[in-house]
Amino acid sequence: MQLFSIGIHHLNMDGTKKLSSSTGLPIPTYRNTDIQTFARAWTGFKRQPARGNIEIHDWGSNRIDPMALDPRWRDVFPKMDLNGGYIGDLYPLCSDIPQRAFLNIGAKYILLGSSAVPEYQSGDELMNEIWVVTLSLNRTSSELFNILCNAGPDSQCRFRPVVILNRTLNCQGNECLIDEPRTIRLSDNPPIFYEYIRPACVELTFFPNNGRIVRKNAWPSNLHICANPLVDKAYEACCPKGETHYRNFCLFTGERVLYNTAEARCSTNSRFNDGVMCDYTWNYAWDSNPGCDVGAPEDWHWTNLNCTVQVKGENQTY
pLDDT tens for the chain, 318 residues long, are 466 788 889 999 999 999 999 999 999 998 888 888 888 888 998 888 777 776 665 566 778 888 888 877 888 788 888 888 888 888 999 999 998 999 999 999 999 998 888 888 765 554 555 567 788 899 899 999 999 999 989 989 999 999 999 999 999 999 999 999 989 999 888 889 999 999 989 888 888 778 999 887 665 567 888 999 999 888 888 887 766 677 778 888 888 899 999 988 888 765 555 567 787 666 666 655 655 655 555 678 888 889 988 877 776 665
- What's the CA gap between 299 and 55, in Å, rounded? 35
pLDDT in tens, 172-216: 999 999 999 989 999 888 889 999 999 989 888 888 778 999 887
- What's the CA gap between 74 and 117, in Å, rounded? 21
| 284 φ/ψ angles, rounded to the nearest 5 degrees | -155, 170
Burial of 108 (0-12, 13-18, 19+ CB in 10 A): middle
Nearest to 301 by CA among 235, 230, 232, 225: 235
**Sign of the alpha-carbon dihedral angle for 228, 226, 76, 34:** positive
